A and B are shown apart, each in its own frame.
Chain A
Amino acid sequence: MAMTIQQNFCIAVAWVCFAGASLCHAQSVLSVQYPGGLPLAHSTGPSLSMGGAGTGVRNDFFGMADNVANLGGMNRAVFSAATSFDFLTVKEENAAATFFALSPRLFSFAFHISPVGTFGFSLDQRTSMRLKFVNDTTITLSDGTSVTDSIGFADQGGLSSWQAGWGRAIGRWAFVGVSYERMYLSSEDITLYGADLGGGMARYDSTHYLFRGNALRAGILVPVRKWMFGMSGEYVFAGDAERTVRSTMTTSNENTKFSLSLPPSLSFGASYAFSPSWMAAASPGITLWQSYRSPVKLGDHVDNALSFAAGLQYIPAPNLLVPRYWEIMQYRVGFRYGELPVVTGSEFAFTVGIGLPLLRGGGLIDCIAEYGSRSDSRFANHSENFLHLFIGINGGRKWSQNTGIRY
């Protein structure tokens, strides 16, 4: 018994160390330009491993992340979760900095109630902003004394979405789905100035944004022979936002309430099953940042952002009755390119992934590596290269099954 307590304690300490190590590092500098931060890929594991090209794919384990209409094709209870270990290297001329962060991305759950359809719930992180910038300079005053002039800038926040959706099949020729979203955007910008000649006090300014809003998503999937075509759209209603400014300059906080409109988005997708072993998918999309409205400055000037993703899936022997394990493993590659909310910024990434089936198709663990780069043409000497190691866990099971036998 004593041994068990020690073991549990060791494990607890290890996980605390791990979480602490993972969550304390900074991320993209470019992200501070975009309202709410850097857009994140928020698909399930199988879709992530194909570059996120899941809008035109009908697959239980793609969940409702890429296309809510995917719910319509499910006839079992399905859950998916994905998290990412993010490694980022920021380069500027001859200098570089490397960061690590643990980023939970998505959790979704869906269950089928015949004949009503399938209901789904999900929580996903849409954008992320995390940066700690510190710059120290030693300057010599004209009276000969030296002082360290330092500025610290910290940004933290992001947009998360809670979603409840429903989907069902319309005959054999379409799947449709709709969902309601509750969105939360929070960001905190802190600036700290210091230059202490002796007994001085650093200047502290912080701005906190908070937005709560509602959104609707809708999607459709249409199978045509070996093709599957899909379309998914999202509209975010204008919502109440609040900005709170604090500073050592003033004793009272400046509080401003305003209306914020986040941009709608639209994506199309198509997939083609060459054979039971091979499947290809592609998905272009656009986020209409020109519809973004905010009376207070939140990030830089934004513009519509196009995106494109494509991927390929290969399963050596999906239908063998007694396959070897490697023959039912799912091998995927993908590519994605996307403009960032500021028109001069873009990013691309290549992905490779492997899906490890469990429980005779009832589960799937995805191990995915995504390597890419993002840049902004206005800052030619600045680049960010990233490696995302995703872990996706998916499971599905039928709670009840109509045998079709009448006695």
Chain B
Amino acid sequence: MHNSKRYCLLTVPVFLCSMFFCSGLFDDSTNLGAAIIENIDSNRVTISKHIREYVMDHSAVVDSFSLPGVNDTGFGVHAATNGYMVVGRLGNEQAAGYVQFICPPDTASSRTFASNDNLRKIIVRFSRNITIDTNTLPCRIEVWSSNNRSRALYPNPASGDSLLDTMQFVKAPQDSNNTATIPDSIELLPGLANDIFKACTTSTRGSSAKIFGFIAANIDTGLIRLNGNPQLIVEYTRGSDTTNKRYQTYSSWYTSYYLATDGAPDSLRRIPALSYASKRTAVFQYDATTLWATINGMANSQHAQVISAVFPLKGPRDKDTIKVRYLLLSYLENNGADLDSLFAANPSLPGVITIINTSRVLANVHQSLQNFSQNGRPSALYLYVRFDEDLNQKWNQTVWQNVPLLSAMIAVP
């Protein structure tokens, strides 16, 4: 007990001292003495002039326009792996789907036909549920047999595409939820069906895979969403048994796309238009000479660092939430495929932001701008803005009315 009191006598004052020193009586830092710190070495520390603001005005905006899906590569191509293809027309945009089926090479043992198999018919089933904007009904879809393509194109007879059939969709009575259980497949003509069956039969097929492509295109106004995974279904019988039907299904899960294009009219090119379907990209061109002049006017400008830079993007619509991707470059990239690569290659440079209604969201570009500051300080800057995702599933199209203007903060030692 005696020891206990002694410990308390020692501990309590130490605790009290600790509380005293931890209390708010003492400061952890100060903002006094700025002149002294600055006096040490104004090349190293400048308190009053260490950060300069730059706010762009409209005189720096050189141009605003949009880039269409040029070369039919990259632009407007949507993989159907997310479960649907869109086919049809909306405004000046139209979309066509491309489906590709692969018959495995001779070395494979599955999904092939024996020499005594007899073909009954082959059908292409685009989907089990087709979502149609009922306002557009009736509408018709053409199905074309197509040569092998790496990317979907519109049917072109000169390229060897041939029209197989036209599926016509009409408004069904039970179609209250815009979902129609209407014919969703098309039977191939006997000639093509025989070619496919022969190519996939063990005794006749070669050592390489056989590929069969089909294009679906809407010849009327309106959009049709073909849900599900397109399939090629072969119906056949084996040997002398002509009553038991057999089926072989080929999937196109990884080889179906739909492509949307707006035809690249000049009227669209001249305005900063964005489109989700055709991936039209709005471009804003700026004169950057005033920005670099601001930096050059600072002491130690060679050591200037852009610590913050934003383009305030204001949503162009009143009610919709949109998700856009942006990218700042020092040059105009006309090639759609290359621009796609730039957007996709370096996720740290472009950003993705969601804008709710007409709210103002800041697109952060300080890293890109700092790179330009250290590497040549280009006289022109190009801001690219495109839809990243169709959040509202409405095939968004818009024109960016408000030209975003750059604000930046630059720090020098």
Residues of A that sit less than 8 Å from B by CB: 3-4, 7, 10-11, 14-15, 17-18, 20-22, 24-26, 29-30, 32-33, 90-92, 95-100, 131-136, 139, 141-143, 145, 147, 149, 151-153, 189, 191, 193-203, 205, 207, 248-249, 297, 299-300, 376, 378-379, 382
Contact pick for A249, options B20, B30, B33, B305, CB 8 Å: B305
Taken together as a complex, chains A and B put the C-alpha atoms of A10 and B31 apart, in Å, by 37
Contact pick for B55, options A133, A143, A152, CB 8 Å: A143
| A135 and B47 within 8 A (CB) | yes
**Residues of B contacting A30 in the complex (Cβ-Cβ under 8 angstroms):** 33, 36
Q: Is B405 part of the binding interface, using a Cβ–Cβ cutoff of 8 Å?
A: yes
| A133 and B21 within 8 A (CB) | no
Give B115-149 as 1s and 0s: 1 = Cβ < 8 Å from A's Cβ atoms. 00000000000000000000000000000000000
Contact pick for A195, options B14, B303, B307, CB 8 Å: B307
Smallest distance from the beta carbon of B359 to chain A beta carbons, Å?
13
Contact pick for A29, options B33, B310, B366, B407, CB 8 Å: B33
| B366 and A201 within 8 A (CB) | yes
Contact pick for B41, options A26, A149, A297, CB 8 Å: A297
Across the two chains, which residue of chain B brings its CB closest to A149?
B51
**Residues of B contacting A133 in the complex (Cβ-Cβ under 8 angstroms):** 29-31, 33-34, 37
Q: Is B22 part of the binding interface, using a Cβ–Cβ cutoff of 8 Å?
A: yes
Q: Is B53 part of the binding interface, using a Cβ–Cβ cutoff of 8 Å?
A: yes
| B305 and A200 within 8 A (CB) | no
Give B29-66 as 1s and 0s: 1 = Cβ < 8 Å from A's Cβ atoms. 11111111101110011010011010100000000000
| A100 and B21 within 8 A (CB) | yes
**Residues of A contacting B305 in the complex (Cβ-Cβ under 8 angstroms):** 193, 203, 248-249
Taken together as a complex, chains A and B put the C-alpha atoms of A22 and B23 apart, in Å, by 11
Taken together as a complex, chains A and B put the C-alpha atoms of A360 and B89 apart, in Å, by 107
Smallest distance from the beta carbon of A9 to chain B beta carbons, Å?
10
Most buried by A among B30, B55, B351, B367: B30
| B41 and A193 within 8 A (CB) | no
**Residues of B contacting A98 in the complex (Cβ-Cβ under 8 angstroms):** 25-27
Q: Is B243 part of the binding interface, using a Cβ–Cβ cutoff of 8 Å?
A: no
| B310 and A198 within 8 A (CB) | yes
**Residues of B contacting A10 in the complex (Cβ-Cβ under 8 angstroms):** 7, 11
- Decide if the interface of chain A is mainly helix, strand, loop or mixed: mixed
Q: Is B308 part of the binding interface, using a Cβ–Cβ cutoff of 8 Å?
A: yes
Across the two chains, which residue of chain B brings its CB closest to A248?
B305
| B411 and A203 within 8 A (CB) | yes
Contact pick for B362, options A3, A25, A198, CB 8 Å: A198
Smallest distance from the beta carbon of B362 to chain A beta carbons, Å?
4
Across the two chains, which residue of chain B brings its CB closest to A205?
B413
**Residues of A contacting B27 in the complex (Cβ-Cβ under 8 angstroms):** 25-26, 97-99
Smallest distance from the beta carbon of A302 to chain B beta carbons, Å?
12
| B40 and A18 within 8 A (CB) | no
Contact pick for A191, options B14, B28, B413, CB 8 Å: B413
Smallest distance from the beta carbon of A94 to chain B beta carbons, Å?
11
| A25 and B47 within 8 A (CB) | no
Q: Please judge, given known A-B contacts A7-B4, A11-B14, A198-B308, whether A382 and B35 are in contact too, CB under 8 Å.
A: yes
Q: Please judge, given known A-B contacts A100-B21, A195-B411, whether A132 and B308 are in contact too, CB under 8 Å.
A: no
| A200 and B15 within 8 A (CB) | no
Q: Can you identify 5 A-B contacts, CB atoms within 8 angstroms?
A: A25-B27, A92-B32, A141-B407, A149-B51, A198-B364
Contact pick for A147, options B405, B409, B413, CB 8 Å: B409
| A195 and B36 within 8 A (CB) | no
Q: Please judge, given known A-B contacts A14-B15, A133-B37, A200-B309, whether A193 and B51 are in contact too, CB under 8 Å.
A: yes
